[in-house]
């Protein structure tokens, strides 16, 4: 055995290597925003990408058309439904010929401060966050990891968490709680999947600019948001995507289990 943990035993005893590019990558929630930037980063690296969407098919096609290279695919499906997750994983694996990298990006983030939210709405919002942010991430991770194990060539899973898991989200408590759970899930999987050459890590971004939050970056609120960081700005999606790409690389295997803060020094945890 070579002293290189990128090599893992295949079930038949041969040695397989996780390549630096040309991989088969599934990015959930890739119709726009950070998911689009992540898909673009992998495509620019020479990888083939399955662009997942739940309902924004037109936006997902824009993402697909923006990708460098060829061999990419669109994959639609509701990850909150366990059978939908199976369909998404199956479609991605069929289109790409397997899965080497999974990026769990799909999420919801609905405002629901406790003092203002009726109980029935509170329950529904929490159920939605748990279904999409946590259970869908867990289910898709299982489906992708089992394929990676069967392929015998290792793999990577990168979860998109949040700064809010550490500093609290008073207006979005279910989001903060489910992202904290995603971080914990990633660390558990990092330990259990390491013997198979599969590294698992998470990123915890602070505020970054996307279409969804563009209105919040205007006026007084925008100035306050930018002032959270001593750099006086918010992140661009490409900056987060670059970190995801590195964590999915062969060079980052020893970072398995990490939660990488990407918040411009806006929140420092001990």
Residue predicted with more confidence, 215 or 46: 46
Task: Identify the weakest region by mean pLDDT among 2-16, 49-63, 108-122, 139-153.
Answer: 2-16
Q: How does pLDDT run across 238-259, given as a tens digit for each residue?
A: 999 999 999 999 999 999 999 9
Question: What are the backbone dihedrals phi and psi of residue 208, each rounded to the nearest 5 degrees, phi first?
Answer: -140, 155
Which pLDDT does position 4 carry in this prediction? 36
Q: Do strands 24-27 and 101-104 pair parallel, antiparallel, or not at all (unpaired)?
A: parallel
pLDDT category of residue 21 using cuts at 50, 70 and 90: confident
Assess contact for 178 and 130: CB atoms under 8 A. yes
Lowest average pLDDT, out of 59-68, 174-183, 186-195, 214-223, goes to: 214-223
Ranking 11-20, 31-40, 49-58 by mean pLDDT, the lowest is: 11-20
Average pLDDT over residues 63-82: 97
Taken in order of first residue, the domains within the chain and their CATH numbers are 19-262 (3.40.50.720)
pLDDT at residue 225, rounded to an integer = 92
User: Where does residue 81 rank: exposed (0-12), middle (13-18), buried (19+ CB within 10 A)?
Assistant: middle
pLDDT: which is higher, 9 or 139: 139
The span from the CA of 169 to the CA of 171, in Å, is 6
Q: Write the DSSP assignment of the chain as a string of letters.
A: --S-TTEEE-TTS-EEE--SSS-EEEESS-SSHHHHHHHHHHHHTT-EEEEEESS-HHHHHHHHHH-SSS--EEEE--TTSHHHHHHHHHHHHHHHTS-SEEEE---------GGGS-HHHHHHHHHHHIIIIIIHHHHHHHHHHHHHHHHTS-EEEEEE--THHHH--TT-HHHHHHHHHHHHHHHHHHHHHGGGTEEEEEEEE--B--GGGGGGGSHHHHHHHHTTSTTSS-B-HHHHHHHHHHHTSGGGGGGTT-EEEESTTSS---
Can you spell out the DSSP letters for 36-54? Answer: HHHHHHHHHTT-EEEEEES
Confidence of residue 17 (pLDDT cuts 50, 70, 90): low
Active site residues: 162, 175, 179
Mean per-residue pLDDT over the chain, rounded? 92
Instruction: Give the span between the Cα atoms of 98 and 39, in whole angstroms.
Output: 17
Residue 41 pLDDT > 90, yes or no?
A: yes
Whether 164 and 175 have beta carbons less than 8 Å apart is answered as yes
pLDDT (average), residues 28-37: 97
Task: State yes or no: pLDDT of 269 exceeds 60.
Answer: yes
- d(Cα 117, Cα 111) in Å, to the nearest integer? 9
Overall size of the chain counted in residues: 270
């Amino acid at each position: 055995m070579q002293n290189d943990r990128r090599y893992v035993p295949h079930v038949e005893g041969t040695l397989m290597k996780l390549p630096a590019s040309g991989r088969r990558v599934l990015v959930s929630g890739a119709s726009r925003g950070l998911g689009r930037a992540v898909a673009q980063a992998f495509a620019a690296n020479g990888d083939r990408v399955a662009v997942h969407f739940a309902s924004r098919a037109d936006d997902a096609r824009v993402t697909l058309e923006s990708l460098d290279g060829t061999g990419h695919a669109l994959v639609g499906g509701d990850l909150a439904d366990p059978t939908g997750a199976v369909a998404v994983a199956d479609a991605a694996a069929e289109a790409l010929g397997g899965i080497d990298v999974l990026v769990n990006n799909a999420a919801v983030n609905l405002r629901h401060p406790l003092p203002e939210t009726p109980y029935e709405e509170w329950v529904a919002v929490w159920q939605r966050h748990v279904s999409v942010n946590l259970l869908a991430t867990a289910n898709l991770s299982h489906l992708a990891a089992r394929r990676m194990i069967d392929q015998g060539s290792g793999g990577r899973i990168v979860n998109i968490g949040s700064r809010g898991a550490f500093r609290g989200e008073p207006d979005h408590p279910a989001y903060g709680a489910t992202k904290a759970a995603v971080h914990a899930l990633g660390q558990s999987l990092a330990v259990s999947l390491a013997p198979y050459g599969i590294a698992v890590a998470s990123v915890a971004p602070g505020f970054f600019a996307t279409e969804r939050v563009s209105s919040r970056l205007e006026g007084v609120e925008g100035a306050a948001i930018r002032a959270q960081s001593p750099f006086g700005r918010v992140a661009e999606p490409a900056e987060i995507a670059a970190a995801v790409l590195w964590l999915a690389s062969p060079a980052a295997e020893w970072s398995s289990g990490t939660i990488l803060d990407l918040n411009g020094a806006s929140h420092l945890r001990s």
